[in-house]
Amino acid sequence: MKKLMLMMSCLCLGLMACKPAEQEVVEKTPAALAATQPDCSLNFGIDAWEPYQYMTVDNKPAGLDIEIVKGVLSNMGCQFTVTQGSWTELLLKLKAGEVDAVLGASKTEDRESFAYFSDAYRKERFQLYVRNSNINYPYKNITAYLEAGHKLGIVNQYYYGDDFAALYDNKTFQPLFIGAIISELNIARLLDEEIDGLLEDSFVAASILRRKGLDKYIKPHNISLESADVFIMFSQESISPQQVEAFNTGLTQLKENGDYNKIVNKYSH
């Protein structure tokens, strides 16, 4: 899933709040509470990406990714902690070993220089979202959209795939890419007509627009990127290959005992 290298400063707009202060929440799985393994504790970095990962109003981590990880750690008998921050912040913390893992990541050659990757645990698909008045844009793909000169909102550090990276490297198109630290900023810019469209995971965008009551004003266009595997990144500074292997074993167990499908099905409806 994610992440194209871009840099810009944090902006606060009416439809969103400034980036929240970093939070840390500690939860123990049932297996961890019963086990005598005080050294088995993994800290996961999460950003606000509902319905995959987010903090509830009572400051609890929730979402599809969170439930999958909790299930795996239960099989491992480990404690679960989270650190919340922006994607850019979490990548820096992962490199330094200040968080053990980051959820919802795409595998790239650059990231493999500082992180280990779990087995793929789900897929994601990014889609173009536009104002309702532009839902009939006549373009069949994102290249045609950019060739028409339309500005596109993307999220800093997200990786959208090799084909999209090639478009971003094209000097003709570079001025059309507008980066943001979180999706809500792109949504505000789209409403303010500062950009013409934005790319977001279809589940995430639907959740944000529904929660903010904006699904009548912003609609998914038929343009989408190819679906891609999503992984968990583990810090090479704090996690060993053996621990990653143990996590993958726990993930396999979660799939084989049927709990994985129960979690995914819950978020599919």
Specify the pLDDT at position 39: 65
Specify the pLDDT at position 269: 60
Specify the pLDDT at position 214: 97
Specify the pLDDT at position 267: 81
Specify the pLDDT at position 245: 96
Residue 97 pLDDT greater than 50, yes or no: yes
| CA dist., res. 100 & res. 238, Å (int) | 6
Specify the pLDDT at position 15: 37
Specify the pLDDT at position 135: 97
What average pLDDT does the structure give for the chain?
Answer: 87
pTM listed for this prediction: 0.71
DSSP secondary structure letters along the chain:
---B---------TTSPPPPPP-EEEEE-HHHHHS--TT-EEEEEE-SBTTTBEE-TTS-EESHHHHHHHHHHHHHT-EEEEEE--HHHHHHHHHHTSSSEEEEE---TTGGGTEEE----EEE-EEEEEEGGGTT---SSHHHHHHTT--EEEEBT----HHHHHHHH-TTTGGGEEEESSHHHHHHHHHTTSSSEEEEEHHHHHHHHHHHT-TTTEEEEEEEPPPEEEEEEEETTT--HHHHHHHHHHHHHHHHTTHHHHHHHHHH-
Domains and CATH numbers, the chain: 24-123+228-268 (3.40.190.10), 126-224 (3.40.190.10)
